[in-house]
Amino acid sequence: MISNWSRTIGRASRSVRSSPAPVTYGLISLCSLIFLIGPAAGLDPAYGSGEALLTAQRAYFHRWGVLPTELFEGSARAALTPATALFVHGSWVHLLGNMLFLYVFGVMTEDRMGRVQFTVFYAGCGYLALLGYAAANADSEQSLVGASGAISAVLGAFLYLFPGARVTSLLPFLFFLPLRFPAWVVLPFWAALQWLAAGRASQGPGVAYLAHLVGFGLGFGYAWARFGRGTKVRTAPAPAPEGENQP
C-alpha cells in the first residue's frame, strides 16, 4: 500500500505544482513537527519507553485533546482544546493518512478560496466538527485528537467546488487497485461509509466518525453558501486513497 501511496503522491504533486498553497503546506509541516517532538512518535527518549511512554502519551492527549466530559464545564482551557487538538495526532498512520488527504484535496481548495479564507475555514470547521462530536458524546472520557474534522470539511468543500475532478481511489475490496472516478462519486461514497461506521461506533477509543460527518457537512455547506451557483468547476486530477484515519 505504501508504494501505491507513493505513486499517488507523485501524480498529485505534478497536478498541483502550478498552484502554490502555502497554508496547506504550512499545516502539513506544523502537524508533522508537533507529532515528531511529541510522545506519540516514540522518537524522543525523554518520554521513556514501555509503560512510561504510554503514560506520557495519555497525559499529552489529555492536555491538548478534546475531553468531552470537561469541554462544557466553562473552563477557558477546555474551550481551547478543539483548536489545539487539530494539530495533535495519535500515531504515525493517523498522521500520514490525514496529511495525505490534506495534501491532495487542500491545495486546489486553498487556491479557490484564497489563503486567508481557507485558513479561517479550516480552523473554524475543524473546531466545530470536534465540538459537535463532543456534544454528541458528552459523557465520554476518551481524549479526541486529530485534524480529521477539518480535513473532512476540506473534502466537503472540494466536492462542491470540483465535482468533476478525477480522483484516484485505492479500494480495499479491489486489492487496492488505483481506479479513477469523479469526485462526485468518490466523496459521497466516503461520506456514506462514515455514516454507516458512525452508526456502529461504540463508546471508547476508536475513530470519531461523527466528527468526519460534521466536518464534511460544514465544508460542503460553506462552499455552497460562499460560492453559490456561479462557481466554475475545474477538472484537474486530484488523486487520493479511499478511507480516512481517526482524528
Which residues form the catalytic set? 148, 212
- What would the 3-class secondary structure string for the chain be? CHHHHHHHHHHHHHHHCCCCCHHHHHHHHHHHHHHHHCHHHCCCHHHCCCHHHHHHHHHHHHHHCECHHHHCCCCHHHHHHHHHHHHCCCCHHHHHHHHHHHHHHHHHHHHHHCHHHHHHHHHHHHHHHHHHHHHHCCCCCCCECCCHHHHHHHHHHHHHHCCCCEEEEEEHHHCCEEEEEEHHHHHHHHHHHHHHHHHHCCCCCCCCHHHHHHHHHHHHHHHHHHHHHHCCCCCCCCCCCCCCCCC
For 138, the grid coordinates are 458528552
